């Protein structure tokens, strides 16, 4: 058993690291969905924009300045998107908001395409995070080790925030019952803004980790991680933060095991890698059909 882990450690390591990054993105999806019942299709593109902004900032500022700047810029972007594209549609049917989210995603991708000239941008290598380490004969980047710990630390902070602060309480109330909490005097708009701020903040952190690992940013590099993170959120039970995190890790690890299928299970063939993306979606459909509320989700009751 130990031998098996030793031989395949690199797959598990990259699985855990990419899983942690999915988890951070998934929190943004799950919180927004919990409150607005909206699949924020633009979230993956916000993540991509954070990566691009970092490429531009790091060329003119040292890392100690550019990293906080990137986080601030991403938070502003998330806040601004909610303000402009979702808030005016608060009373519109759910489908219109979702279409607006798709529109924002399309806009962000095209804007990135225009500003980058359609070329992949090389992500700067952040000292310490991009250093190479050797663990148990597997060589990898420092970021691989940092990611799971940072993810879990952030999630603990976030959970404490939601459990023990007033804003957190308001968030829980709003996600439980939108209208009643409004009647109880909760300022819905500021709660929703806060949700987007937290979601974008985590997306910015995820982009720092993710792009340090996979060092190039293209206009579409946010869409796949975004969709996978969403699947992670559904798997964990949408609205549940621990669920999203566990979902993220599971999807990250499974995906890497499938890619390594021919070597891990000793079954040759090129079909393995073709399905690494499709697997995530197959997984999603199985969950939706078998247990639509996910691991930790609450059962929603349709009122007539």
Partner 1 sequence: MKRILLMVLVVLAVLLPLSAGGSGEKENTVRIGVFEPASGDNGAGGKQETLGIQYAQSLTPTVDINGTTYNVELVLADNESSNDRAATAASMLVNEDVSVVLGSYGSAVSIAGSDIFRAAGVPVIGVTCTNPQITEGNTHYFRICFLDPFQGTVLADYAYNTLGARTAYCLAKLGDDYSSGLVNYFVEEFERLGGKCIMETFPDGNSDFTSYIANARNSGAEVFFSPTSTEAAQLIIDQSSSQGLPIPILAGDTWDSNVILQAAKGKDVDITVTTFYPEGADPEFDNGFKAWVNAEPARLANNGGDDTVAAVTAMGFDAYNFALQAIRNAGSSDPADVMAAIWDTEIDGVTGHIALEPVNGDAIRNTVYVKHCNTETGAWDALPAVVVGE
Partner 2 sequence: MNREKRNRLIVIWVGVAAVYLAVLICELTLRPTAMLLTVLKKGAIYSLVAVSMNLLNGFTGLFSLGQAGFMLIGAYTYAILTMPSEVKTSQSVYKYYECFITFDTGVFAGLLAAGLIAALFAFLIGWPVLRLKSDYLAIATLGFAEIIRAICQWDVLGPVTNGANLLRSYIDLTRVIIPFTDIPFPPTLFVFIVSGVCILLIVLLINSSYGRAFKAIRDDETAAEAMGINLFRHKELSFVISSFFAGVSGALLAMFQYTVQAQQFKTMMTYEILLIVVIGGIGSISGSCIASFLYITLSEWWLRGLDMGTFLGINAPGIFRSGFRKLVFSLIIMVIVLFFSRGIMGDKELSLTRMRLAFRRASSRLRKEAHS
Q: With CB cut-offs between 5 and 8 Å by kind, which of partner 2, partner 1, none does residue 68 bind?
A: none
Contact partner at residue 11 from partner 1, partner 2, none, CB < 5 to 8 Å by partner kind: partner 1
Question: How deeply is 33 buried, as exposed, middle or buried, from its count of CB atoms within 10 A (0-12, 13-18, 19+)?
Answer: buried
With CB under 5 to 8 Å by kind, the binding choice for 134 among partner 2, partner 1, none is partner 1
Chain centroid, CA 212 distance in Å: 15
CB atoms within 10 A of CB 272: 19
Instruction: Check residue 120 and report its DSSP letter.
Output: P
Residue with tokens 């990566």: 51
Q: Are 32 and 99 in contact (CB under 8 A)?
A: no
The span from the first CA to the last CA of the chain, in angstroms, equals 54
Give the SS3 label for residue 134: strand
Burial of 219 (0-12, 13-18, 19+ CB in 10 A): buried
Q: Which of 84, 160, 224, 282 binds partner 1 (CB under 8 A)?
A: 224
Kindly state whether residue 91 participates in binding partner 2, applying the rule CB under 8 A.
no
CB nearer to partner 1: give 116 or 167.
116
Stretch that binds partner 2, among 172-180, 203-211, 227-235, 252-260 (CB under 8 A): 227-235
Residues 94-113 vs partner 2: string with x where CB under 8 A?
A: xxx-xxx-xxxxxx--xx-x
Query: What is the rounded CA–CA span in Å between residue 116 and residue 245?
Result: 32
Number of chain residues interacting with partner 1 (CB under 8 A): 39
Q: How far is the CB of 270 from partner 1 (least distance, A)?
A: 5
Q: CA 21, 22, 25 angle in degrees (round to 5)?
A: 90
Residue 122 in contact with partner 1, rule: CB under 8 A:
yes
The sign of the CA dihedral 246, 75, 115, 97 is: positive
- Number of residues binding to partner 2, judged by CB under 8 A: 47
Tell me the three state secondary structure of residue 138: strand
Q: Residue 69's CB: how many other CB atoms inside 10 A?
A: 15
Q: Interaction with partner 1 in 97-116: which residues (CB under 8 A)?
A: 113
* Interacting residues with partner 2 between 246 and 285 (CB under 8 A): 269-271, 274-275, 277-278, 280-282, 284-285
Sign of the Cα pseudo-torsion (98, 100, 105, 110, in order) = positive
Q: Rule CB under 8 A: say whether 1 interacts with partner 2.
A: no
Contact 218, 45 (CB under 8 A): no
**216 binding partner 2? (CB under 8 A):** no
Question: Does 7 interact with partner 1 (rule: CB under 8 A)?
Answer: yes
Place of tokens 């049917």: 93
By beta-carbon proximity to partner 1, the closer residue of 270 and 299 is 270
Q: Do 186 and 174 touch, CB atoms closer than 8 A?
A: yes
Contacted entry of partner 2, partner 1, none for residue 98, CB cut-off 5 to 8 Å set by kind: partner 2
Interface residues toward partner 2, by CB under 8 A: 37-39, 84-85, 88-89, 92, 94-96, 98-100, 102-107, 110-111, 113-114, 117-118, 223, 227, 230-231, 234, 269-271, 274-275, 277-278, 280-282, 284-285, 288-289, 292, 304
Site for partner 1, rule CB under 8 A: 7-8, 10-11, 14, 18, 113, 117-120, 122, 130, 132, 134, 139-141, 213-216, 218, 220-221, 223-224, 256, 259-260, 262-263, 268, 270, 272-274, 276-277
């Amino acid at each position: 058993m130990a031998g098996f882990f030793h031989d395949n450690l690199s797959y598990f390591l990259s699985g855990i690291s990419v899983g942690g990054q999915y988890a951070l993105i998934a929190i943004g999806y799950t919180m927004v969905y919990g409150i607005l019942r909206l699949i924020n299709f633009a979230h993956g593109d916000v993540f991509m924009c954070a990566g691009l902004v970092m490429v531009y900032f790091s060329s003119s500022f040292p890392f100690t300045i550019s990293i906080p700047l990137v986080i601030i810029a991403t938070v502003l972007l998330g806040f601004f998107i909610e303000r402009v594209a979702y808030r005016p549609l608060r009373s519109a049917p759910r489908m219109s908001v979702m279409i607006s989210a798709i529109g924002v995603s399309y806009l962000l991708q095209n804007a990135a395409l225009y500003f980058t000239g359609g070329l992949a941008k090389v992500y700067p290598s952040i000292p310490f995070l991009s250093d190479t380490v050797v663990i148990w004969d597997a060589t990898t980047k420092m970021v691989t080790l940092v990611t799971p710990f940072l993810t879990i630390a952030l999630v603990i902070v976030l959970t404490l925030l939601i459990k023990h602060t007033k804003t957190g309480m308001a968030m829980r109330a709003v996600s439980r019952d939108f209208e009643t909490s409004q009647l109880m005097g909760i300022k819905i708009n500021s709660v929703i803004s806060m949700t987007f701020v937290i979601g974008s903040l985590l997306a910015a952190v995820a982009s720092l980790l993710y792009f340090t690992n996979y060092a190039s940013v293209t206009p579409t590099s946010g869409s796949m991680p975004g969709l996978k993170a969403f699947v992670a959120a559904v798997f964990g039970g949408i609205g549940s933060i621990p669920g999203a995190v566990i979902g993220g890790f599971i999807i990250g690890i499974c995906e890497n095991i499938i890619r390594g299928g021919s070597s891990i299970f000793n079954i040759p063939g090129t079909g393995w890698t073709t399905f690494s993306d499709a697997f995530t979606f197959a997984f999603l459909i199985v969950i939706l059909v078998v247990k639509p509320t996910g691991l930790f989700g609450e059962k929603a009751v349709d009122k007539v």
